Amino acid sequence: MKIQERTGAGNNRSAVPAQPGVGERLPAPPRERKPALAALAVLLILVGALGATVLVLRAGDRIEVVRVTKPIAAGESVDEKTNIRGVMVAEDDSIHYVKWEQRGTLAKLKAKSDIPAGAVAVGEMFAKKAVLPAGKASVGLSLKEGQYPSDIKSGDTVSVFPVLSGTSTGKGSTGGSSASGTPLVADAKVNTIAAKSDATVSTGNLNITLVVPQEEAAALASAASEGKAVVARVSDAD
């Protein structure tokens, strides 16, 4: 009986599953494969590579456009020989560049406002007719030699002074033109300049058009009609 009990007890012990010993690693479950995620990763890589390729190709699409090399005053036009040249830029349909081959057409248009040197010309800068800025007026002056700087040019900033009473002006005067200290117009822009000459010899007269504040236009026009206006170039305000 004792021998059977012992045998039975031993059988009971062997029926219990053996536990892993200390330090033994449990078997890892098989890794679950996710083909959908792998495919998505590959797709993202391809899309990124395609986008980079498109950017490189677009950067290579360059066109020649008009660049302003000298300031152009409002109402003035471009001149291929003096104030523009071609420059290469990346093509961009959202920017209305004026292409270099369109410079002939551009020369027939007028600048809507002052265009600084270095600016790349775009269509919005020009119009068929000159457009005055708000609050400004255009006044023409016919000046004699001595009433204007000899090197005056379009785009200059000038002041206009009234000629003192009794002072002679023009070529042949003994003391030249003399102006009062208070200007008729302190800050005006030279818009256009056209020299007036006869068939053989220049008279030295000069016709210019100034853009001035509207409130100062009447006094300037009155002085100009009497030949009592002297133009002096001043530095641009900061």
What is the structure's pLDDT at 42?
A: 78
pLDDT at 53 over 90: no
Pair of tokens at residue 198: 């006869």
pLDDT band at 212 (very low <50, low <70, confident <90, very high): very high
Question: Is 119:190 a contact under the CB 8 Å cutoff?
Answer: no
What is the structure's pLDDT at 64?
A: 94
Query: For the ranges 9-23, 27-41, 158-172, which has the lowest average pLDDT?
Result: 9-23
What is the structure's pLDDT at 168?
A: 47
Pair of tokens at residue 54: 């498109």
Question: Is 99:66 a contact under the CB 8 Å cutoff?
Answer: yes
The amino acid present at 58, given as its one-letter code, is R
- The arithmetic mean of pLDDT across residues 190-198, rounded, is 68
> Does 3.90.1210.10 match the CATH number of domain 62-127?
yes
- Listing DSSP states for 155-166 in one string gives T-EEEEEEBPTT
Pair of tokens at residue 72: 């152009």
Cα–Cα distance measured from residue 44 to residue 86, given in angstroms and rounded to the nearest whole number: 41
122: left (phi over 0), alpha (psi -120 to 50) or beta: beta
pTM: 0.51
Q: How many helices (H) and strands (E) does the chain have?
A: 4, 9
Locus of tokens 């005006």: 188
- The arithmetic mean of pLDDT across residues 81-108, rounded, is 92
What is the structure's pLDDT at 76?
A: 84
Angle at 121 (CA atoms; ends 119, 127), nearest 5 degrees: 125
